[in-house]
Amino acid sequence: MPLTMLPIGKEAVVNKCVAKEATKKFLEGLGILPGTAISVLAEVNGDLIVCIKGSRVALNKGVAQQLFVRV
């Protein structure tokens, strides 16, 4: 399921990213890689604040929709 569908407070594992190569590299730099645990902390107008490896990261809705997770 897309990351945007993950309920707030629920933890999941990043499964795949279907974004363009430049966006994938950006996300990798943030530590968002397949197999990494991620949880949604808050949603603001469709944009997400997520917790990844103990850090808070803000992702816009477009990027979050390209990240697929499994619970």
Report the C-alpha gap between 43 and 15 in whole angstroms. Answer: 21
pLDDT band per the 50, 70, 90 thresholds, residue 57: very high
Q: Confidence class of residue 46 from pLDDT cuts 50, 70 and 90?
A: confident
* Domains of the chain in sequence order: 3-66 (2.30.30.90)
Say how far apart CA 4 and CA 68 lie, in whole Å.
9
Q: What is the pLDDT of residues 19-43, one digit of tens each?
A: 899 999 999 998 899 999 999 999 9
At residue 18 the predicted structure's pLDDT band, cuts being 50, 70 and 90, is very high
| pLDDT greater than 90 at residue 59 | yes
Average per-residue pLDDT for the chain: 92
What is the C-alpha separation between 29 and 45, in angstroms, rounded? 25
